[in-house]
């Protein structure tokens, strides 16, 4: 593999600071690292283990052959003092290096803060739209979303925006959750995690909130993590959504459940045929609506594995089958 020299950013000692050559070399040994790594290494260099003579190989306390004790060699005080002074000098130089880096990090943080505030101001001034794309009116409870890469912002009405986000998250197919990333209604581009966090915080301040937004925020606005944590609530919502709308959407599930219960209670075949025709001809009939609710509750109870709920549904369905003898005629 060919050698590729480092071409990224390097930390540099400010021109106004004059230090010794040894300190310059220590500083350069860390010039290509990120601040967190620099701080970690400096902590190790400053608080590292001191050199000890009893770690030397010849500092043995017992003769391995005879087993007799051997007197430990004691170094001259001048040698010990020289090593201690050398250690102290190294530590002091690393402390100077640390002070230089900490100043650089502080200045860098201050400058980044100024740039960030300047970018926010620029985005806020450059508003892309004045009317909400859903209500087509000037927002009364505005939520402003910043787009840093494009240096602009969007403004939306809080309630429609929240409904749009939730509709994408609770989207389902048949009775299975199929959440999609929330999108910007103006551009149809997916919101970033930072934008979603900002939307949720602004919505909460305006008193417009829901369990979906709360759980999404606690999941760091990571849709995949949110889906994993709250699979069951999403599944139940998918079942509830499936049994809404035209009867043709869920007629098969209701008819199948009705047939199972009818066979158990030996309901005549003619009654079953009448029920199916009534579902198609009179879907708003109270008896038909009862079976739609029973079927929905059955799928929810099965998902929850709630025996009490399943028993209650069995009782309700038996009573409904009994009424079929005089209602389906």
The whole-angstrom separation of Cα 145 and Cα 182 is: 13
pLDDT confidence of residue 128: 84
The whole-angstrom separation of Cα 93 and Cα 22 is: 8
Return the residue matching tokens 């008896």: 287
Whether the pTM exceeds 0.75: the reply is: no
For 200-240, the pLDDT digits (tens) are 999 999 888 888 999 999 999 999 999 999 999 999 999 99
pLDDT confidence of residue 56: 47
pLDDT confidence of residue 2: 74
Characterize the bridge pairing of strands 176-177 and 172-173: antiparallel
For 28, 275, 310, the CA distances from 256, given in Å and listed in that order, are 76, 12, 17
Phi, psi of 238 (to 5 degrees): -65, -40
pLDDT confidence of residue 73: 64
The whole-angstrom separation of Cα 240 and Cα 237 is: 5
The whole-angstrom separation of Cα 258 and Cα 275 is: 9
pLDDT confidence of residue 232: 93
For 67, 177, 210, 224, the CA distances from 180, given in Å and listed in that order, are 76, 10, 18, 10
Question: Which of 320, 247, 313 shows the shortest CA–CA distance to 287?
Answer: 320
CB atoms under 10 Å from CB of 122, counted, come to 14
The whole-angstrom separation of Cα 50 and Cα 216 is: 50
For 77, 208, 289, the CA distances from 84, given in Å and listed in that order, are 10, 65, 89
Phi, psi of 90 (to 5 degrees): -65, -45
Question: Which of 78, 82, 66, 86 shows the shortest CA–CA distance to 22?
Answer: 86
Helix (H) or strand (E) holding 122: helix 77-125
Long-range contacts of 204-208 (CB under 8 A, 24+ apart): 206/141, 206/143, 206/158, 208/141, 208/158, 208/159, 208/162
Give every residue of the chain whose pLDDT is below 50, as ranges: 53-60
């Amino acid at each position: 593999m060919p050698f590729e020299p480092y071409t990224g950013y390097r930390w540099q000692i400010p021109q106004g600071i004059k230090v010794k050559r040894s300190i310059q070399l220590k500083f350069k040994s860390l010039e290509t690292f990120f601040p967190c790594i620099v701080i970690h290494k400096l902590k190790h260099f400053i608080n590292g283990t001191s050199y000890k003579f009893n770690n030397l190989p010849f500092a043995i306390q017992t003769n391995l052959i005879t087993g007799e004790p051997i007197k430990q060699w004691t170094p001259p005080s001048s040698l010990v003092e020289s090593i201690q002074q050398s250690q102290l000098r190294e530590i002091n130089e690393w402390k100077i290096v640390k002070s230089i880096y900490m100043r650089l990090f502080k200045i860098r943080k201050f400058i980044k803060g100024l740039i960030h505030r300047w970018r926010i101001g620029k985005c806020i001034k450059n508003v892309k739209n004045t009317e909400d794309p859903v209500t087509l009116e000037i927002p009364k409870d505005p939520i402003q979303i910043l787009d840093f890469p494009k240096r602009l912002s969007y403004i939306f009405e809080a309630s429609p925006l929240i409904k749009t986000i939730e509709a994408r998250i609770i989207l389902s197919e048949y009775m299975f959750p199929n959440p999609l990333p929330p999108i910007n209604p103006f551009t149809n581009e997916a919101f970033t995690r930072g934008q979603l966090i900002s939307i949720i915080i602004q919505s909460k301040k305006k008193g417009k909130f829901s369990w979906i937004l709360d759980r999404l925020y606690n999941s760091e606005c990571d849709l995949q993590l949110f889906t994993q944590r709250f699979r069951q609530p999403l599944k139940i919502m998918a079942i509830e959504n499936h049994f809404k709308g035209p009867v043709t959407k869920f007629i098969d599930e209701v008819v199948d459940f009705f047939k199972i219960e009818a066979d158990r209670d030996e309901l005549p075949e003619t009654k079953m045929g009448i029920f199916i025709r009534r579902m198609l001809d009179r879907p708003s009939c109270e008896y038909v609506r009862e079976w739609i609710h029973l079927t929905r509750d059955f799928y929810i109870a099965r998902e929850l594995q709630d025996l009490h709920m399943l028993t209650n549904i069995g009782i309700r369905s038996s009573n409904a089958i009994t009424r079929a003898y005089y209602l389906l005629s």
